[in-house]
Amino acid sequence: MNLEKRWWKESVVYQIYPRSFKDSNGDGIGDLKGITEKLDYLKELGIDVIWLSPVYQSPNDDNGYDISDYRSIMADFGTMQDFDEMLAAAHERGIKILMDLVVNHTSDEHPWFVESRKSKDNPYRDYYIWRDGKDGHEPNNWGSCFSGSAWKYDEQTQMYFLHLFSKKQPDLNWDNPIVRDEVFDMMNWWLDKGIDGFRMDVISLISKNPDFPDGIPGINGYASFNEPANGPHVHEYIQEMREKVLNRTDNMTVGECSGVTLEEAKKYASSDGKELNMVFQFEHMDVDADEGNKWTDKKMDLRDLKEVMTRWEKGLEDIAWNSLFWNNHDQPRVVSRFGSDQKEYREISAKMLATCLHMMQGTPYIYQGEELGMTNIHFDTIDDYRDLDSINAYHELIEQGVYTKEEMLKFLSMKSRDNARTPFQWDDSKNAGFSDGTPWIKVNPNYAEINAKEQVGRSDSVFSYYQKLIRLRKEHDIVVYGTYDLLLPDSKEIYAYTRTLGEEKLLVVCNFYEKEAAFSVPEEFKDAECLIKNYVDDNWGSEGKLRPYETFVLKIS
Ligand code: GLC
Ligand code: CA
């Protein structure tokens, strides 16, 4: 079934976080006109689809993931006319646009919630999840993703409402059919505008167990915000969405499924086409976490990463489609995380990581700046952070005595979402060419060295390497459709695997570390063609070893 050809299997997606991409009017905030200006850059990179992080009207408690009007554009980002122009300009270049669909929750400033909290008999009351307290406490021990309880007491009606994210992001009540129809109407409105699909924010969380059972408490005393994941009606609701919305056009859908298991993913992304095209899973983002707690400096063990990636590759084979990512706006920069951001190894390790991911089966996602090898930021004071997740965790865990200030600053510099959100580095002029004004968040000081202007056209740059990886996907069906098999599962240093399609076979080899690693090319690949490699010479695979962060891909047919 994975051999069934679909455009979204053959595409490479590029994620834009608009606030940090390109500011066109000097107010320090990236915007839609800025994106339109830079479409030729993306065309040159060769991507097929843009996933646009939210651009809807929002009070910006969580940078646009708290929406107060789904049918208008945030003033900071421009106007609906700017959006229409951007969409048309993208389509002219053969680039498709995926909208971020954030419908597990709205902003508390959305008119639905403003009404809902007014009285118990307000017609909008059941649009959200209201519960009485239990013995003067919250209805259960669920935690918010952004620290503290997931319940907020509202004086007006003396009940609690549920917010799995911030207090300004109340959860919608998907069990109410009117809510579902409101969401479906809104989605149809965007499809009618001509957008090409949706990335669905935490869609795995929309159906809550009506008993609201307690979960196992984590380091701050609350159960994970993922507690309600894959709830009782989630598949039913997504199937309804497919019938009422998605079946109308040939679109692409990817569900962000926090807390998803392989078994659940087979349902969300089943090739039978009843639900979504693919999901984002997060198990590989937990390999350097401590039992789900990301605030740690634990190093990943490569064997864990291989185990997770392989379980998903093999588990979904012929059943559902994978999505592939190292980075997004919620994750630190992969070159700093799983590679090396030291000058000597930055480019070579960025290329190795890109190869490892892009040669797997699934649709690859590139997060803005990843194609330049952009790195983590390393702020040394909490005042420089803008992300509410980082700021809340810092205060909560220090107050509770779980970590010291120094520890938290260290963990933030490794894991904060702001690492991904610093302005895109266009060139070596003021503010990295991102803005003429004062950027809303500090620019990474390494922009003089790492920027698009320096890399576009330089044949051995990270950018050129991504171009080539994307091209290989267009030229070789095996990159898209070949079957994946892991080699050397016990190696602590090397990630190697094959892809097979008919008579053709690829060998992908990656040394994940600075140390040389013993490796000899298997006999059947001795006369193979080398499709891509990250050392300029042709000594790949000779001398029975891999050099620091070395990678190459061989093909036989
Ligand atoms: C998703 C988004 C994240 C946001 C959260 C709440 O995980 O990717 O950025 O904070 O949902 O909408
Ligand atoms: Ca602007």
Q: What's the pLDDT band for 323 if we cut at 50, 70, 90?
A: very high
Question: Using DSSP, how many helices (H) and how many strands (E) does the chain show?
Answer: 17, 20
Ligand 2 is an ion; its neighbours by CB within 5 Å are: 23, 25, 27, 29, 31
Mean pLDDT, range 217-235, rounded to an integer:
95
Q: What is the pLDDT of residues 429-482, one digit of tens each?
A: 999 999 999 999 999 999 999 999 999 999 999 999 999 999 999 999 999 999
Q: What is the pLDDT of residues 170-187, one digit of tens each?
A: 999 999 999 999 999 999
Give, to the nearest 10 degrees, the angle between helix 405-415 and helix 388-399. 150
**Sign of the alpha-carbon dihedral angle for 66, 69, 72, 76:** negative
Ligand closest in space to the Cα of 77: 2
Q: How far apart are CA 270 and CA 319, in angstroms?
A: 6
Give the bridge partners for 290, in sequence order. 293
Whether 61 lines ligand 1, by a CB cut-off of 6 Å, is: no
Q: Give the position, in ligand 1's atom list, of the atom nearest the Cα of 105.
A: 12
- Segments of 229-320 assigned E as strands: 252-256, 278-280
Ligand closest in space to the Cα of 24: 2
Q: Give the position, in ligand 1's atom list, of the atom nearest the Cα of 66.
A: 12
Does residue 367 have a pLDDT over 80? yes
Question: Does the annotation count 201 as an active-site position?
Answer: yes
Mean pLDDT, range 219-224, rounded to an integer:
94
- The helix (H) or strand (E) run that includes residue 507 is strand 504-511
Whether 275 lines ligand 1, by a CB cut-off of 6 Å, is: no
Report the relative pairing of strands 494-501 and 69-73 from DSSP bridges: unpaired
Q: Which CA distances in Å does 288 have to 172, 228, 301, 302, 334?
A: 32, 24, 8, 10, 12
Whether 65 lines ligand 1, by a CB cut-off of 6 Å, is: yes
Token pair in block for residue 33? 């006109």
Burial of 130 by CB count in 10 Å (0-12 exposed, 13-18 middle, 19+ buried)? buried
Q: How far apart are CA 390 and CA 377, in angstroms?
A: 14
Predicted local confidence at residue 241, as pLDDT:
98
From the list 23, 76, 100, 256, the catalytic residue is 256
DSSP 3-state of 117: coil
Ligand closest in space to the Cα of 436: 2
Predicted local confidence at residue 310, as pLDDT:
98
Q: What's the pLDDT band for 2 if we cut at 50, 70, 90?
A: low
Whether 165 lines ligand 1, by a CB cut-off of 6 Å, is: yes
Whether 341 lines ligand 1, by a CB cut-off of 6 Å, is: no
Whether 418 lines ligand 1, by a CB cut-off of 6 Å, is: no
Does residue 64 have a pLDDT over 80? yes
Is this structure's pTM higher than 0.95?
A: yes
- The helix (H) or strand (E) run that includes residue 517 is strand 517-518
Q: How far apart are CA 556 and CA 382, in angstroms?
A: 52
- The answer to whether the beta carbons of residues 323 and 502 sit under 8 Å apart is no
Mean pLDDT, range 28-55, rounded to an integer:
98
State percent of the chain over pLDDT 90: 97
**Mean pLDDT, the chain, as a whole number?**
97
Q: How far apart are CA 102 and CA 419, in angstroms?
A: 22
Question: Does the annotation count 256 as an active-site position?
Answer: yes
What is the identity of the amino acid at 479?
Answer: V
Q: What is the pLDDT of residues 271-302, one digit of tens each?
A: 999 999 999 999 999 999 998 899 999 999 99
Token pair in block for residue 427? 């060139």
Q: Give the position, in ligand 1's atom list, of the atom nearest the Cα of 62.
A: 10
Q: What's the pLDDT band for 541 if we cut at 50, 70, 90?
A: confident
From the list 23, 66, 108, 201, the catalytic residue is 201
Predicted local confidence at residue 542, as pLDDT:
83
Mutation to probe ligand 1, out of 19, 202, 386, 416 (largest number of atoms < 8 A from CB): 202
Mutation to probe ligand 1, out of 62, 169, 392 (largest number of atoms < 8 A from CB): 62
- The answer to whether the beta carbons of residues 452 and 427 sit under 8 Å apart is yes
Report CA(62)–ligand 1 centroid distance (Å): 8
Mean pLDDT, range 4-22, rounded to an integer:
97
Which of 345, 528, 314, 433 is closest to 21 using CA atoms?
433
Ligand closest in space to the Cα of 420: 1
Whether 201 lines ligand 1, by a CB cut-off of 6 Å, is: yes
Whether 102 lines ligand 1, by a CB cut-off of 6 Å, is: yes
Nearest protein Cα to ligand 1, atom 3: 330
DSSP code string of 49-113: EEEE---EE---TTTTSS-SEEEEE-GGG--HHHHHHHHHHHHHTT-EEEEEE--SB--TTSHHH
Report CA(1)–ligand 1 centroid distance (Å): 32
Report the relative pairing of strands 130-131 and 159-162 from DSSP bridges: antiparallel
- The helix (H) or strand (E) run that includes residue 352 is helix 346-358
Nearest protein Cα to ligand 1, atom 9: 330
Predicted local confidence at residue 134, as pLDDT:
95
Does residue 1 have a pLDDT over 60? no
Mutation to probe ligand 1, out of 67, 165, 391 (largest number of atoms < 8 A from CB): 165
Report CA(36)–ligand 2 centroid distance (Å): 13
Report CA(145)–ligand 1 centroid distance (Å): 9
Q: How far apart are CA 550 and CA 339, in angstroms?
A: 11
Whether 128 lines ligand 1, by a CB cut-off of 6 Å, is: no
**Sign of the alpha-carbon dihedral angle for 452, 453, 459, 461:** negative
- The answer to whether the beta carbons of residues 73 and 56 sit under 8 Å apart is yes
Ligand closest in space to the Cα of 15: 1
Does residue 85 have a pLDDT over 70? yes
Give the bridge partners for 504, in sequence order. 501
Report CA(433)–ligand 2 centroid distance (Å): 13
Which of 343, 356, 366 is closest to 306 using CA atoms?
356
Q: What is the DSSP letter of 148?
A: S
Q: How far apart are CA 347 and CA 449, in angstroms?
A: 12
